[in-house]
Amino acid sequence: MDLLSITAVNWARAQFALTAGYHWIFVPLTIGLGLIMAIMESFYVKTGNEKWKHTTKFWQKIFGINFAIGVATGIILEFQFGTNWSNYSWFVGDIFGAPLAIEGIIAFFLEATFITVMFFGWGRVSRRAHLVATWLVFVGATLSAFWILVANAWMQYPIGMAFNPDTVRNEMVDFWAVVLSPVAYNKFLHAVFSCFAVGASFVAGVSAWYLLKKRDTDFAIRGLWISSVVGLVSFMLLATTGDGSAYQVAQKQPMKLAAMEGLYEGSEGAGLVAIGLLNTDKVSYNDDVDPYIAKVEIPKLLSLLGYRDMNAFVPGIRDIIEGGYRLPDGTIALSFEERKARGQKAIQALADYRVAVEEGRSTDAANHELVLEENYAHYGYGYLETGEDLIPNVPLTFYSFHLMVMIGMFFILFFLVLLFYLYKRDMRNTRWLQYVALWTIPLSFIASQLGWIVAEVGRQPWTIQDILPVDVAASAVSAGNITATFVMFTLVFTGLLIAEVTIMVKQIKKGPVRDFQQEDHIQ
């Protein structure tokens, strides 16, 4: 691949990362606020207390602002599969396209239908009917995330498919294997709980702002109670599902786990790095430089979390490239060179098969197809040059993972303290905690973004694990064209984000009480 095409691929990756990163600012808040406002309205229907109604309507306005802008980035994100990643779309579109189609037909349709009732149905439908609409908006948003995450999980762990050498496409043979993949449901639960956590921290922070300003205090306390419970439960569930996700990574993507832990040399009873500082002098996986300047390690915990055995062998980056260690199923791991040779054999077998078919040599075609099937699990390795190509950006993956975990632990402590003060003390006069709540709003968004960095950077160089490298998946588009659209999208998305924050801040400053007084006057 020449320098121009490499530059184009890097710009395509940057553009997709930009779009996905901006989109994931809006999605977690949409799903998180969806749950919280549905819970608030449930209290209104249960108690008949108009204060809960007013509280719900305020947060629905914030939800609506975020939802509208989030849709725009999501549409652009999906179009990029056809513009910048057309080879990918051709190669696996029969599988990857199915969850996206279901997301649009069912989930987004459900969400878009009932959001109208939610916003304009107050006083026009019964309380219970309106509550159902609000919950269905939340369910629609969550289902939308589910199908997107099913598609993403399949990229991490391709299953339920067969390669068709006649069309040179992967085709779905087991829909439920794709949907019920262990990677899919772990990824879905972890991502959705992170959305709940983002919504909870946002509501807690905004509610704390009202207490700092000594206004709308009853409204603020209600928001703090709901957000604190949702936040604490969400972050504790995040820890549980994070363990499940890490286990799946250990089984299906050992190189990602090695990068997450900065693990170059595997060992039995491997420890988990709690805090560490990587050595920038480490430039090669097989040099003698210590990968750490300093670290605090919990003995044997990585083996336990990754393989449910305190003495299990955890392969490092060098082990994965050089092979030779025993896998959990008892077989011996192949080296990169062995997998590359088998991948090249699969690529050649595909080419020979197509020639044999064109020339009508059915027996030869069948033999080539058999060779292709036997080596297809290594297909993508045939496009890579050296073992170093398998190594993702270790510092970015390592620090993103550990910072995400530390933020999650902070939030568990934060919400515990917040609930204690709500239950035992007077939150109205606890200004230090109000400031903490306000200034921790960005932390939940940062943790959510870091999770995606770990998931996506950690699996490089693959778009489809072991089958399709990024360089092969890209479209034949010039670097100049992608650069121009990258700059354009940067300006547009930044403008949308600024617009959202500006509108939200204006609405929050306006406040719920004054808004309700105006509504009462109109009525």
Give the pair of three-digit tokens for residue 240: 């549980």
pLDDT band for position 516 (cuts 50, 70, 90): very low
Q: Considering the chain, what percentage of its residues have pLDDT values greater than 90?
A: 76
With H, G, I as helix, E, B as strand and everything else as coil, classify residue 88: helix
- Whether residue 163 has pLDDT greater than 70: yes
The whole-angstrom separation of Cα 244 and Cα 72 is: 32
Q: Is it the case that residue 121 has pLDDT exceeding 60?
A: yes
Lowest average pLDDT, out of 2-16, 175-189, 231-245, 258-272, goes to 2-16
Q: Give the per-residue pLDDT at 475.
A: 86
Q: Which token pair is 207?
A: 């509610």
pLDDT band at 109 (very low <50, low <70, confident <90, very high): confident
Region 439-467: what's the mean pLDDT? 94
| pLDDT confidence bin for 6, thresholds 50/70/90 | low
DSSP letters along 234-295, please? HHHHHHHHHHHHHHHHHHH-HHHHHHHHT--S-EETPPEEEEEEE-TT--STTSS--SEEEE
Quickly state the pLDDT bin for 129 (edges 50, 70, 90): very high
User: How do residues 30-44 score in pLDDT, each as one tens digit?
Assistant: 999 999 999 999 999
Whole-number pLDDT of residue 1? 46
Q: What is the pLDDT of residue 518?
A: 41
Predicted confidence at residue 513, as pLDDT, reads: 58
* pLDDT score at 81: 82
Percent of the residues in the chain that have a pLDDT greater than 70, as a whole number: 97
- Mean pLDDT across the stretch 93-112? 85
- Residues 6 or more apart whose CB falls under 8 angstroms from that of 169 comprise 90, 91, 92, 93, 94, 163
Give 226-274 pLDDT, tens digit per residue: 999 999 999 999 999 999 999 999 999 999 999 999 999 999 999 999 9
Average pLDDT over residues 129-150: 94
SS (H, E, C) 317-336: HHHHHHCCCECCCCCECCCH
Q: Once rounded to an integer, what is the mean pLDDT over residues 120-141?
A: 94
Q: pLDDT tens for residues 322-353?
A: 999 998 888 999 999 999 999 999 999 999 99
Place of tokens 């490239």: 321
Q: What is the pLDDT of residues 479-510, one digit of tens each?
A: 888 888 889 989 999 998 999 999 999 999 99
